[in-house]
Amino acid sequence: MTEPIKPPFNEETARAKVVAAQDAWNTRNPELVAQAYTPDSQWRNRIEFFTGRQAIIEFLKRKWAKELDYRLMKELWIIVILKIVFL
């Protein structure tokens, strides 16, 4: 198993994080996807609100049971790296 990509991000690691998230989601493995979120994550899907990894897993199982051809495509929209220099 590879190390998770953690902040701080530069352009290369930000792009890698997006690809890793997309690849994990497209495995359609709810347990794997849920591990990317904190144990107390709060999610919203339309009118449904839920909290915690187990709730995420149950939601994804229901979602993917209905959406058989669903595939997530993520993109990195913007990355801004600010550097402040003090002289």
pLDDT in tens, 24-42: 999 999 999 999 999 999 9
Residue 1, C-beta contacts closer than 8 angstroms, at least 6 positions apart: none
For residue 48, the model assigns a pLDDT of 95
Contact 54, 39 (CB under 8 A): no
Going by pLDDT thresholds of 50, 70 and 90, the confidence category of residue 1 is: low
For residue 87, the model assigns a pLDDT of 62
